[in-house]
Chain A
Amino acid sequence: MAKGSHLGDLVELVLLAVRRLGEVEADGASVRAVLSDRGDRRVSVSTVYVTLMRLEEKGYARSWKGEPNARRGGKARRLYAVTPEGMEILEHVRTVRERMWAPASEVARG
């Protein structure tokens, strides 16, 4: 397991959103939309990007430049995807959670 085997709540949600959007291309705005629609979390643009930046620094996400677009004031969008390390930590967190939810007898058996 990677050294930081633990994710903050928001960080986890953002990473999950990127994963979910993976097929449709995840950018800051769509991540916020998913967080709001599915995650029941309203966050500011800056929060999302700071979180995405941290995820990139930790190697859990990667990003690339998209196409510029007049609707965006001529700015290109930045697209994100989860890296294998990111997938790994997500899986790890999920396992931990499930272990915690499992009935006591199962844990003892495992």
Chain B
Amino acid sequence: MSRQAQPPEDEHRADPGSGPPRLATRLLEGVLPPTDRGAAILGDLHEEFEARARKDERAARRWYVVEAIGIGVRYGRRTRRNRRGAAALGAPQGHDRSWEGMVDTLFTNVRYAVRRLTRSPMFTLVAVLSLGIGIGANTAMFSLVNAAIIRDMGFAEPERLVDVYEGTDDFTHGTLSYPDYLDFVEGSRDVFEAVTVSRFAVVQADTEDGVETLFGAGVTGEFFDLLGIDAARGRLLGEEDDVAPGAHPVVVLGHDYWSSRYAADPDIVGRQVRLRGRPYAVIGVTPEGFTGSVRGFAPALYVPVMMVDELMGSTGNSLESRGSQSYFGTARLRDGATFAQAEAAAERVTATLRERHPRTWTPDKEFVLERTEDVIMNPMIDRFVVPAAGMIMTVVGLVLLIACANLASFLLARAADRRKEIAVRLAVGARRRTLVAQLLTETVILAGVGGALGIVIATQGLDLLLAADLPLPFPITLDLSLDRTVLAFSALVSLGAGVLFGLAPALQSTNPDVAPALRDESAGGGRARGASLRNALVVGQVAVSVVLLVGAGLFLRSLDASRRLDPGFGGTPTALVQLVTPGDRYTREEALVYQRTLRERVAALPGVQSVGVIDNIHLDPLNTQTVRVQVDGIDPPPGQDFHGVDYAVIDEHLLEALDIPLVEGRGIEALDVADGEPVALVNQEFVHRFLPEGGAVGREVRLNGDPVRVVGVTADHKVRGLGEAPRPFVYRPIRQSFSPYGWVAARTGGEAERLVLDVIAEARALDPDIMVTQAKTMRRHLAVMLLGRELGAMVVGGFALLALLLASIGLYGTVSYAVARRAREVGIRLSLGADVGSVIRMLTGSGMRLVATGGAIGVLAAAAAAQLLSRLLYGVPPLDLPTFLVVPVVVGLVAFMASWVPARRVARIDPVGALRSE
């Protein structure tokens, strides 16, 4: 690299694309001083680059970049060092406007902030923890809401999708029957490109060691095409797979099931799986992230709808029955067709069906359409899901608010401590903007670290939640992974918290009215400007805590009231096992024999007190069934010619097994056989409603049009929900009104959990292929009914306690700070003979005045908020006196501790030292 090797001018490279790397040159131009010296360095580099490039261009570029970075580090640091002294004081700087000037300033601010934060680790720790908890709570709950409500379902052109329901006055958005679906397709061809239905199917799959029960979906051939879903492997179901019942043993695996059960075997397509003993060819796998058409229910596998009856072992043919309404309908609008046109088409089909099938298509029944994008799960469920989600997000939002108030409060205290420093800096000409930027950098860093901690807390919390064994009535699958939406949410919340709650303290502490600070009022015990804002924050925190605690109290009281409700059955340990005797393998008589034999074998198990069979267990949130009841002299509801009444089919032992008392007449007997007189039991509410003149036993009523004699009356029990008013109920004997679905209910003096397994073992011993669709203890079955309230009480209660904790920290901080600031005043008082007790009382009292104000505001706000909650409460008035009395007392006690503990520290103040210190 001798200078003599310089090329002549004419050999200068003409190639415009080369030359030194441009980015590195930009960096150099940024860091080098815009002087001759800077230019000289650039020139030297350029010259040597050219010389080197002639030998090896790549090596030359590498060299240039290394040199540029070296210069960047050295000159950047060198020029910064000169400027930093001034910058730290906030002095005006010449370089500020440029890009590199801003980066430089940011660098300085960050270093300055980090240094200050590490210098007071206690403050930093508490602030980061507060924010972490607040942001974590928000992130966790938002992940839930995101997974349950917001996340994209992955459908193509979702704006053209329409959900199709059958609605009645009572049940506004029900599923379709298959024949109704076919009629709907026929009558709406002009507006819909295609219509599909899907249904849930409980499928029994053979494994190496027995069978597993899977939650699958039966779909029509249009399903995947209509939703715009492409296969991750193989192909998805098409119309050729959906032609004739029982003729298409093919299956598409859901991505998650494929991953977990088959370890994402790349060669899965073409393999066979055995479903209910029949081999099915795997033709494909759904794409990752697709979880079916109904939110929250991710099918493990998809089979043609034509195969569902066979897979479920149904007796009848659900594809031909208008009464079998289990199909979720989705349709895709033709290009250019409007939703209004679709609704008009639906009305036309409704009119046709009412005319053709007046028995099933009553005057209040109609097709109901909703835009798929407007529906979360089902409009009837959404009515509860959306307010619940809103409530939870409000609760965690309030927790975050309290955490942020803590942060702001601490910052104000620190700002007050730095008043002198800031005043000096302002006085020497520091720009306020610069100071505010420095202070904000600090809070944004705090918020950033808090946000990161929050994400960790959220993932841990959600893992815990997923691991919890909730008594869910069906497998809910929510993908709670942190996707981009959730992370963006957390980042936004963190940044917002940092800026919003850092701004006020930053502005306040840099208020240019610096004279009082220079005079140093702080020693005199006068009110600092920050104090009133801090006090306001404490008042706000206490108020919000009270609101949250009242909410939690109301939920707890509501849960307590629900727990006290007697369902009217199942009070003793009982095992519940649901079996299906498939119609293609069992005749009616064989099924009855199977049930009776199983019942006898279970009854012989040790500890078992009583065993009965019922087709549809009470308080099952997923299944209700009604019978059309007509009673002479009782007018049916307007527009109908019958009453819909809940019913169940039972054997002669069921009432005893479930502990439902018979109050009049006789129960079901073994004599109540198919060719005997049709009989029924009714409950007291039925009598009250339909046979009020007494003498119910022996009366004849019509059930589904057929005359049936009432032979006995049972006590009332809950049917659909724990909080319901008494509902009429009808029991029919299993031998007269057969159902292949049967719950075996076995009451025991021992452990119900053990018995559940024993019942399954007995059932399989009798028939290894019997379909066990559900198995649980009675306790767990009933817990489903309380699940919502339990979760509500748990979530709101947990967050309310968190809020109280955060608010206490805030109050503690405020009072400690007041104690420290008023040390001199306290010193004077003590040296003038005031006793420590009175000084403690004075300091605690000032804290408690804030608490009292906040408490009063909180109680008023809680009273208003409780009205909004009233729909979610059971058995407790919104203005529940005990709750409204206990909460303020609890808050008062906690607040007293939080202000008394730091106030007590005045006792340690040395009066002389405190007086001398200033």
Contacts and interface: CB of A to CB of B under 8 A. Distances in A.
Interface of A: 27-30, 32-33, 36-37, 44-47, 49-50, 53, 63, 65-66, 69-73, 75-78
Contacts of B12: 70-71
B50 interface: yes
B20 A37 contact: no
Contacts of A76: 36, 39-40, 43
Query: Which 4 pairs between the two chains have the least Cβ-Cβ distance?
Result: A75-B43, A78-B40, A72-B43, A73-B46
Interface of B: 1-3, 6-7, 9, 12, 19-20, 36-37, 39-48, 50, 66-67, 70-71, 74-75, 78
Contacts of A78: 36-37, 39-40
A78 B36 CA distance: 7
A45 B45 contact: yes
A27 to B, nearest CB: 7
B69 to A, nearest CB: 9
Contacts of B71: 44-46, 49
A84 to B, nearest CB: 22
Nearest to A46: B71
A33 B75 CA distance: 22
A65 B67 contact: no
Contacts of B3: 29-30, 33
Contact of B67 (A27, A46, A73): A46
A65 B43 CA distance: 12
B39 A50 contact: no
A53 B47 contact: no
B47 to A, nearest CB: 5
23 contacts: A28-B41, A29-B48, A44-B66, A44-B67, A45-B44, A46-B70, A46-B71, A49-B40, A49-B41, A49-B71, A50-B78, A65-B40, A70-B9, A71-B46, A72-B44, A73-B42, A73-B43, A73-B47, A75-B46, A76-B36, A76-B43, A77-B40, A77-B43
Given A66-B40, A71-B7, 13 more contacts: A32-B1, A36-B1, A44-B66, A44-B71, A46-B70, A46-B75, A63-B37, A70-B9, A71-B9, A73-B20, A76-B40, A77-B43, A78-B40
Contacts of B20: 73
A21 to B, nearest CB: 10
B2 A37 contact: yes
A50 B7 CA distance: 27
A29 B45 CA distance: 8
A70 B20 CA distance: 14
A66 B67 CA distance: 23
Contacts of B6: 71
Contacts of B42: 72-73, 75
A33 B4 CA distance: 10
Contacts of A63: 37
Contact of B37 (A46, A49, A70, A72): A49
Contacts of B36: 65, 76, 78
B74 A46 contact: yes
Contact of A27 (B19, B40, B50, B78): B40
Interface centre among A28, A65, A73 (most CB of B within 10 A): A73
Contact of A71 (B1, B47, B66, B67): B47
Contacts of A70: 9, 12
Contact of A28 (B9, B44, B78): B44
